[in-house]
């Protein structure tokens, strides 16, 4: 299998259990030194203004001691106010530094593949995205120093991969039942635990706001300058407005968010929460987190044999009992809820969404051009998008009312080929195409209090400029994506939500995918035969069932 990172083309998805574990960087580590300039050179006496700007840019790899070497290239005034963590630009190709008309002024033109913000949120960029960075150089005590520079550092893809590591922050869904992963990227410097907690207190990424909840009251800040880790315990000292030490439920939820987010570090086994200088009371139940960080689906799939809905599992099929005949339809793209009580198909005759249930007649709910495969969420809604980017959802029962249009203005100029609601119901995984190129997106789902979906937030781009028509959840942190319809062999990819991916074995004639619980439950429909991913091969399973899908 081939491993990769969308930004750089190499890397790997951690596979060690439900919470990914990362080694906390140590200044006394005896491992081999990294290939990037961990100790970049400071300014050379007598260097010209252009050399100073170039040296400053090269010093962006020196993250230690708050970029102390890079600050040596700045005037004392700018060195005191420069914020290197505000933006990290990952560039393609060679940047171009040119002098401007005014003496001492320079402009850097650079093509960027990704930008990481101050809270670790990565924004991936499609090909052709550029940034302009302006600099002004003046003399200080006879040496050229930079008086104006953007709050940013510039890294090559390989340096970025060496310096930064993805980490998972955890928030909760609105009803506080499921944990929701929010991927962030931080430089691997001591201690990463501080970066994680500061970002957690800052709240979820923009694409998740309104779709998830946090346990920390507004205005909560880190009381100390760092989050120390000693003998496996991370001590988090907070300043919490209007803190009530007797509110055990809130205390436990804060502790749980911290534990889920910090336990991915190999150095952290437990969290001690301190507020106003005193350890927080958590009550008797202070063990394992209560939020479920995985929502699974049943092992059986729904598919079609001729025009009949069938269950498929382990190479066997059986008709779904109690459903009406579909002889009057041209059923395709079947779907079902987790309880296998409600079903949906797209009628190929007129492009309509049809819902079904035992003992009820098929109900046509609405129609559209190029409807995506229906997606059931845990609140009882069935979702589709059409090729023009219109997203609609309707309650699954035939008497569930009229469909609602889910606001998603960012889809207006894009062709949607796949939309899947996450198993916890908080995010939509969307594939769009524009000018023959696909983008993979995650968007938070904002709902009314009764669960009615209202809006897809402005999205987070998981992968830019890829070849994919479909993307399906494998868990709440992983999904599989692939192009469909071609005769040539293709390699589906398993992505995690940070954008890292693993390439699966090649398969030709791919026309469909289905995805259950994890990589061991990936199925491919190719040349009319259903295959199951088995190690590094695709094992044929069945040549009758078509369009199979797991619940969701």
Q: What is the CATH number of the domain that holds 361?
A: 2.120.10.30
- Taking the CA of residue 33 as centre, how many other CA atoms within 13 Å lie in the half-sphere pointing to its CB? 5
Element holding 421 (H helix, E strand): strand 415-421
Strand-strand pairing, 270-275 and 233-239: parallel
Domain assignment of residue 409, yes or no = yes
3-state secondary structure of 79: helix
Domain termination residue (choose one: 155, 173, 200): 155
Number of domains in the chain: 3
Element holding 161 (H helix, E strand): helix 157-163
- Alpha-carbon span 236 to 201, nearest angstrom: 11
Contact predicate 364/394, CB 8 Å: no
| The pLDDT of residue 164 | 95
- Alpha-carbon span 549 to 336, nearest angstrom: 8
Place of tokens 């937030």: 457
| The pLDDT of residue 56 | 97
Q: How far is CA 283 from CA 172, 177, 240, 246, 253, in A?
A: 21, 20, 19, 10, 12
**Residue 73 sits in a domain of what CATH number?**
3.10.450
Both tokens of residue 65? 């001691």
- If asked whether residues 394 and 426 sit together in one domain, one would say yes
Strand-strand pairing, 122-124 and 143-148: unpaired
Q: What is the pTM of this model?
A: 0.90
User: Would you list the DSSP string of 480-535?
Assistant: EEE--S-SS-B--EEEETTSEEEEPPPBSSEEEEEE-SSGGGEEEEETTEEEEEET
Domain assignment of residue 287, yes or no = no
Q: Give exposure, 440-476, as e/b (b: 16+ Cβ within 10 Å).
A: bbbbbbbbeeebebebbbebbbbbbebebbbbbbbbb
- If asked whether residues 407 and 455 sit together in one domain, one would say yes
**46: containing domain:** 19-27+38-155
- Alpha-carbon span 62 to 65, nearest angstrom: 8
Domain assignment of residue 160, yes or no = no
| The pLDDT of residue 16 | 31
- If asked whether residues 351 and 376 sit together in one domain, one would say yes
- Alpha-carbon span 222 to 170, nearest angstrom: 17
Q: Please provide residue 170's backbone torsions phi and psi, each rounded to the nearest 5 degrees.
A: -120, 130
Rg of the chain (C-alpha set): 26
Contact predicate 177/291, CB 8 Å: yes
Tens digits of residue pLDDT in 250-285: 999 999 999 999 999 999 999 999 998 999 998 875
Both tokens of residue 175? 């009803």
Domain assignment of residue 3, yes or no = no
Q: Please provide residue 531's backbone torsions phi and psi, each rounded to the nearest 5 degrees.
A: -115, 150
- If asked whether residues 147 and 234 sit together in one domain, one would say no
- If asked whether residues 209 and 249 sit together in one domain, one would say yes
| The pLDDT of residue 286 | 53
Please list the ranges in the chain whose pLDDT falls under 70. 1-37, 190, 285-289
Both tokens of residue 236? 């988090």
| The pLDDT of residue 436 | 83
- If asked whether residues 492 and 397 sit together in one domain, one would say yes
- If asked whether residues 108 and 230 sit together in one domain, one would say no
Contact predicate 351/368, CB 8 Å: yes
| The pLDDT of residue 445 | 98
């Amino acid at each position: 299998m081939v491993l990769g990172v969308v930004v750089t083309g190499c890397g790997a998805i951690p596979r060690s259990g439900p919470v990914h574990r990362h080694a906390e960087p140590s200044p006394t580590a005896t491992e081999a030194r990294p290939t990037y300039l961990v100790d970049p050179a400071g300014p050379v006496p007598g260097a010209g203004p252009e050399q100073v700007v170039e040296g400053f840019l090269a010093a962006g790899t020196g993250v230690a001691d708050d970029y102390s070497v890079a600050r040596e290239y700045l005037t004392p005034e700018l060195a005191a106010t420069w914020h290197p963590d505000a933006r990290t630009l990952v560039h393609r190709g060679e940047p171009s530094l040119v002098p401007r008309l005014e003496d001492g002024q320079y402009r850097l033109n650079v093509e960027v593949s990704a930008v990481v913000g101050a809270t670790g949120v990565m924004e991936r960029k499609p090909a052709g995205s550029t940034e302009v960075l302006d600099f002004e150089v003046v003399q200080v005590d006879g040496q050229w120093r930079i008086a104006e520079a953007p709050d940013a550092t510039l890294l090559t893809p390989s340096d970025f991969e060496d310096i930064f590591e993805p980490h998972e922050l955890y928030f909760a869904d609105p009803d506080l039942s499921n944990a929701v992963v929010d991927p962030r990227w931080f430089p691997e410097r001591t201690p990463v635990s501080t970066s994680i907690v500061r970002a957690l207190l800052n709240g979820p990424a923009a694409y998740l706001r309104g779709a998830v909840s946090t346990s920390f009251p507004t205005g909560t800040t880190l009381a100390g300058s760092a989050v120390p880790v000693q003998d496996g315990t991370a001590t988090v000292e907070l300043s919490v407005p209007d803190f009530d030490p007797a509110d055990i439920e809130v205390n436990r939820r804060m502790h749980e968010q911290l534990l889920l987010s910090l336990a991915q570090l190999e150095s952290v086994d437990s969290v001690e929460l301190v507020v106003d200088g005193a350890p927080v009371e958590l009550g008797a139940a202070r063990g394992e987190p209560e939020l479920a960080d995985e929502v699974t689906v049943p092992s059986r799939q729904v598919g079609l044999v001729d025009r009949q809905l069938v269950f498929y599992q382990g190479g066997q099929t059986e008709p779904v009992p109690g459903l009406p005949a579909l002889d009057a339809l041209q059923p395709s793209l079947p779907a079902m809820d987790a309880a296998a009580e409600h079903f949906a198909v797209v009628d190929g005759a007129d492009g309509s969404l049809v819902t079904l249930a035992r003992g009820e007649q098929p109900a046509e709910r609405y129609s559209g051009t190029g409807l995506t495969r229906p997606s059931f969420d845990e609140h009882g809604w069935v979702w589709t998008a059409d090729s023009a980017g219109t997203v609609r959802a309707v309650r699954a029962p035939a008497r569930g009312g009229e469909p609602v249009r889910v606001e998603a203005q960012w889809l207006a100029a894009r062709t949607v080929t796949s939309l899947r609601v996450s198993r916890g119901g908080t995010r939509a995984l969307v594939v769009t195409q524009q000018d023959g190129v696909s983008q993979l997106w995650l968007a938070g789902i904002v709902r009314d209090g009764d669960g009615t979906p209202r809006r897809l937030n402005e999205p987070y781009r998981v992968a830019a400029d890829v070849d994919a028509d479909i993307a399906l959840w494998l868990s709440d942190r992983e999904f599989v994506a692939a192009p469909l319809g071609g005769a040539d062999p293709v390699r589906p990819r398993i992505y995690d939500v940070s954008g890292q991916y693993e390439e699966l074995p090649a398969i030709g004639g791919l026309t469909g995918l289905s995805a259950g619980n994890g990589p061991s439950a990936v199925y491919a429909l190719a040349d009319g035969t259903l295959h199951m991913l088995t190690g590094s091969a695709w094992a044929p399973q069945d040549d009758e069932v078509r369009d199979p899908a797991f619940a969701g």
